[in-house]
Each structure stands twice: as structure tokens, then as C-alpha cells.
Amino acid sequence: MKTPYKNIYNVLKLNRFIVLAVVIFAMLSSTFSLWMAFKTNKEALNSAFAINTDGSIIPLKLVTQKENFKVEALAHLDLFHNYFYNIDASNYERNLEKALWLGNSSVDNLYRQKKADGVYNRLLQYSLVQKVLSIDSQIEEQNGTYVFRTITVFEINRGSIIDTYELVSSGNLIPVDRNFPNNPHGLLITNYFENTLKKINDES
């Protein structure tokens, strides 16, 4: 029994339909791809960059990272200066131990110098209370290095006498691995130095 031949016109119509469908699908796919590329590029141009103060273009992601860094850096400096200078006879060992986690050997060297000078012995001997009143830090980026300058105002309560001092300190900040709870911000103070210390007023 012979196999009946299909109608040649039906075959051609089916082939033409398939080819036409493939071409239309390809055109729609290409159009959609071009539209998505255009939309993505437009959004990138509108939101992926920011203008620096000197007119240069900065990726927005980098701007966000820098903003986040500044917030954490200020919190880190605030934490350190509170631990290092907000001390009395009952908490100084605990606070200083916490402060040493936030800085490198420059902080440790300053602590050892103060200890050798008898600062903490006087704290114990006369039951002094050193209380931080305010901390104001400024941070700048210089050639990829973060430099800070902090003004710490604190008072020393000697019982009948309260002296208020203004301390200006400076140093650098470098990123390190976070260490909870010892170093929650993942930053380390380096090159720490007490620049000036002056008495503001005396209160009796």
C-alpha cells in the first residue's frame, strides 16, 4: 500500500507559518532586550553616579559606602574617647581595657606613659572622677588615608573643686575585621596623639 502524499500547499503554508512565527518572536525578543538595555542604562546614568565637590563623578555605591564609613568612624571615635577619658576609681581598669581594643600600639603606648606618670594612681589616691562632657570629631580622607581630629571636653571632680579641660587629639583610622563586642565597628585607631590640653575654667 502506497503512502499518500500530503498536500504540497498545506506543507508550504505550515512552513511559512513556522518561519513567520520564529521571525516575529525574534523581533519581539530583540525589541524587549533593547528596551531593557536602554532602561537599565538610563537608570544607571540617573542614579549610579554622584558629583563630588570638585566636579568629578563618583559611583553612588562608593558614596554610600563612604557615608556609612563616616557614621561608623564617628561612632568608633566616640566610643574610644568615652572609654579612655570617662574614668573613675571604680571603672578605669575596665574602661581602659575596652579602649585598648579600639586602637593600636600608639594608644597602648599612651596608656603606659600615663600609667608611668602616675595618672591612674592619683585617680585612686584622691578618688577623682573624670567625666566626659562632649566629643566632637572631624574626619578627612587624604590620599586614601582617613585622618581624624577630636576635641574632647571633660571635667575632673576633686570633691570641692571641679576643673574642666579641653583636649585636642588626632590620629588615623584603618579598617579591620569586626570583633564583637570588643571592636563592633571594625576600625582601628593608629598614630594616636594628644596634641593640646588646656583648662577651660575652675568651679568651686
Residue with the larger pLDDT of the pair 16 and 194? 194
pLDDT (average), residues 88-107: 96
- 31-75 confidence digits (pLDDT tens): 888 888 777 766 655 555 555 555 554 555 555 667 788 989 999
Residue numbers of the domain that contains 91: 59-200
Neighbours of 5 (CB within 10 A): 7
Is 123 within the bounds of a domain?
Answer: yes
**Residue 128 located in a structural domain:** yes
Q: What is the mean pLDDT of the chain?
A: 85
Task: Give the per-residue pLDDT at 21.
Answer: 80
Decide if 5 is inside a domain.
Answer: no
202 with 161: CB under 8 angstroms? yes
**118: in domain:** yes
Percent of the chain with pLDDT over 70: 81
Number of domains in the chain: 1
Pick 9 or 199 by higher pLDDT.
199
Residue 28 lies in a domain: no
Q: For residues 70-88, give the mean pLDDT.
A: 95
Give pLDDT, residue 51: 52
The pLDDT of residue 142: 86
Greater pLDDT, 18 or 182: 182
User: How confident is the model over 102-126, as pLDDT tens digits?
Assistant: 999 999 999 999 999 999 999 999 9
Asked whether residue 160 carries a pLDDT value surpassing 70, the answer given is yes
pLDDT (0 to 100) of residue 60: 55
CATH number of domain containing 96 = 3.10.450.230
Residue 54 lies in a domain: no
